[in-house]
Amino acid sequence: MSVRRLADWSDTRLRRLADEYGTPLYVHDHDRVRENYRRLTGAFPDADVLYAVKANAGRHVLDTLREAGAGAECASAGELKRALDAGFAPEDVHYTPVNPPARDLDYAGDRLAGTDATVTVGSADTLDRLESRGFTGRVLVRVHPGVGAGHSAEVATGADAKFGVPRDRVHGVLADADDRGFDVRGLHAHTGSGLLTASDRDDHRTVVETLAELVAESPVALDRVDVGGGFGVPYRESEPPLDLDAVATATRDALAGLDVELAIEPGRYLVADAGVLLATVNTTKETDGDLLAGVDAGMTTLIRPALYDAYHAVRSLAPDAADRVPVPTSVVGPVCESADVLAEGRDIPRVERGDLLAVGNAGAYGVEMASTYNSRPRPAVVALAGDDERLVRRRETLADLTTHEA
């Protein structure tokens, strides 16, 4: 199936996992990750698929996608280390730093020197910094196309000057990199995150067409175009799934006539609907508006609702939920912030203290963005593969919070 809704998860299994491992708890289903990867490669059979590690950098996820055949796209030295340590070959790794700190480039220079890894540069001075560290290997130049789309303005990357070289300067950077002896391979751009609608698809095609025009007029021979990722998944129950075949067709059409290899960088699409977050209701409160359900997960566990005003489906896993009357409910966390809200005004069977709630589409940018703000330990993660399950990240303790303090 092209989309997995929260209702498709087994209530019985999720309740058992919560009983065994406690809450808050992330549950990641690797069978679904593999299914998503197969669907994606079916739509893009000739593309080099590079998993965007920032979506979920857990070793268990990296192992699953490496074994399936994916490469890795890394935005930081930490992600680069995780990918290489997980066994990704350097030639299957793209390092795509944004305004990289010196220590990141120091690490990349050490690990990537003499390999066939690819570095994507988003500014002219990154070439200086790489060259000074002895790296003159494969590079792509990231383009700022001036067009962006996505689930919110904060992730419409293509429209943000922070990312990439302005279009009118791209050829100069390509020529400069070639003159310095870098192995210049191609261009890169990323429209944004969470592309889902026909309008998003049109913006994506515009970005790819911009890359195609720049390749056709390039002063340096290029053989690779990386169109980024951002392929969306429906977070709301009423939203249809992404028309992935239409995206693939639009991408191929925009590159028609060019003799280049296509690369894509999916992250969310591969892991979002492969994860749920489980939380226990610890407090209920009647108000003049919604019923408030206070749970043991909050913005430190899943920050997307507070950061992006993002919607995540919420479901009661109480065994008798079907017999309870739905009431407008807001699900709030234990953090001392008014922004600590996971869901507002949802019609949920009336909650009671001790009930278990499931939050959908939590496999991407969930545990990866978790923090210890308010000195709250981060949650555990359980990975599923068929009938097998294992704890792949233990729950942090209060003692863990001060481990790094002198």
Cite the active site residues: 336
Question: What φ, ψ does residue 21 adopt, rounded to 5°?
Answer: -110, -5
Cα separation of 204 and 210, whole Å? 10
Neighbour count for residue 373 (Cβ, 10 Å): 14
Quote the crossing angle between the two packed helices 102-112 and 124-132, to the nearest 10°: 60
304 is in an annotated binding site: yes
Collect all residues with Cβ–Cβ distance below 8 Å to 118 and sequence separation of at least 6.
93, 94, 95, 137, 138, 139, 140, 185
Q: Is 78 exposed, middle or buried (0-12, 13-18, 19+ CB in 10 A)?
A: middle
337 is in an annotated binding site: yes
Q: Nearest-CA neighbor of 235 among 309, 342, 310, 328?
A: 310
97 is in an annotated binding site: no
Q: Nearest-CA neighbor of 74 among 53, 57, 91?
A: 53
Match 């290899």 to its residue by tokens: 261
Cα separation of 340 and 319, whole Å? 27
Element containing residue 130 per DSSP (H, E): helix 124-132
266 is in an annotated binding site: yes
21 is in an annotated binding site: no
Q: Is 261 exposed, middle or buried (0-12, 13-18, 19+ CB in 10 A)?
A: middle
311 is in an annotated binding site: no
365 is in an annotated binding site: yes
Beta strands in 260-377 (DSSP E): 261-264, 275-285, 291-295, 314-316, 326-332, 341-349, 356-359
Q: Binding site for pyridoxal 5'-phosphate: what residues are annotated?
A: 230, 265-268, 365
Q: Binding site: what residues are annotated?
A: 230, 265-268, 304, 308, 337, 365
Q: Binding site for substrate: what residues are annotated?
A: 268, 304, 308, 337, 365
